[in-house]
Amino acid sequence: MAIVCKSAAEIDKMRRSGRIVRDVLDHVRSLVTPGATTMELERAAEKKMKELGAKPAFKGYFDYPCVLCTSVNEEIVHGIPSEKRVLNAGDIVSVDCGVVLDGYYGDAAITVPVGEDIKPELKKLLKVTEESLYRAIEAARIGNAVGDVGAAVQEHVEANGFSVVREFVGHGIGTRLHEEPQVPNFGTRGHGARLREGMVLAIEPMVNYGKPETRVLSDKWTAVTADGSYSAHFEHCVAVTRNGPVILTQ
Ligand code: MF3
Ligand code: CO
């Protein structure tokens, strides 16, 4: 499959699905508090999606069982919500949400502190990860390459002493959740596919406090840091337009 460029009308539709993803994430964020379980977040998200008239994108995707991924502390991505997973003060939880509306997908993620005071090192991890996302978005311009996007993430993350995950990457998105091209969080400026008008990218830095290596738990989904260090994840869908990058999950 080649890279699919979207018309202005299609990008408008993706703005609508992106808007719903954002509303769901805002709602979930307000429920992140010590003592909450990740399954409570899941149920609230599923209800909100229904209210807003969208279908979940993740549930049933390769047999994934839930509408959210909730990844706590050393979990990087694809953590499965559970009644047994209680959030504690000082934890961080990454919440990843995808929906489909009128045939078009939206996908975004945030990492949220649990309680008022997480360790300063963790605050820095969240800040640097989100900053690296915005630097990557800035690089999502016509004529740049996919490698410019990845390099923007990698340079900022490594300059701050953290590491980028290699095994999981961002992606094109549109009428399918995952389209070409792959969008790694590392790369070389000028390398990889050229960005063209109408491309929509899900850019999603996954940043580890310690080493970059990962492993997947026996549930076959949850990806964790191999060294047990904390990990953060932020994601937006971004359209490459004549007027520069446009965030669709705002
Ligand atoms: N945002 C993630 C991704 O783009 C979430 C996928 S979870 C899955 O891969 F269950 F749908 F696989
Ligand atoms: Co994604």
Q: How far is the CA of 151 from the centre of ligand 2 (A)?
A: 18
The token pair that represents 27 in the structure block: 């709602």
Q: How far is the CA of 113 from the centre of ligand 1 (A)?
A: 21
CA-177 nearest atom, ligand 1: 4
pLDDT of residue 96: 99
The token pair that represents 230 in the structure block: 């904390």
Q: What is the pLDDT along the chain (250 residues), one digit of tens a residue?
A: 799 999 999 999 999 999 999 999 999 999 999 999 999 999 999 999 999 999 999 999 999 999 999 999 999 999 999 999 999 999 999 999 999 999 999 999 999 999 999 999 999 999 999 999 999 999 999 999 999 999 999 999 999 999 999 999 999 999 999 999 999 999 999 999 999 999 999 999 999 999 999 999 999 999 999 999 999 999 999 999 999 999 999 9
Q: Is the CB of 78 under 6 A from ligand 1?
A: yes
DSSP 8-state class, residue 239: E
Q: Is the CB of 107 under 6 A from ligand 1?
A: yes
Q: What angle do CA 168, 171, 177 make, to 5 degrees?
A: 105
- The owner of tokens 């504690």 is 88
CA-58 nearest atom, ligand 1: 11
Beta strands of 102-188 (E only): which ranges? 104-113, 163-164, 170-172, 179-183
What residue's CA is closest to ligand 1, atom 6? 58
The token pair that represents 181 in the structure block: 């091209």
User: What backbone torsions phi and psi does residue 25 show, to the nearest 5 degrees?
Assistant: -65, -40
Taking Cα atoms as reference points, which of 230, 237, 249 lies closest to residue 94?
230
Q: How far is the CA of 130 from the centre of ligand 1 (A)?
A: 19
Asked if 203 contacts 171 with a C-beta cutoff of 8 angstroms, the reply is no
The token pair that represents 94 in the structure block: 């990454």
DSSP sequence for 39-53: HHHHHHHHHHHHHTT
- The shares of helix, strand and coil residues in the chain, as percent rounded to the nearest 5, are 30, 30, 40
| Total H helices, total E strands in the chain | 4, 15
**What domains sit in the chain, N to C, each tagged with a CATH number?**
8-247 (3.90.230.10)
pLDDT of residue 1: 75
Asked if 143 contacts 157 with a C-beta cutoff of 8 angstroms, the reply is no
Asked if 97 contacts 68 with a C-beta cutoff of 8 angstroms, the reply is yes
Choose the residue to mutate in 42, 67, 69 for probing ligand 1, maximizing ligand atoms within 8 Å of C-beta.
Answer: 69
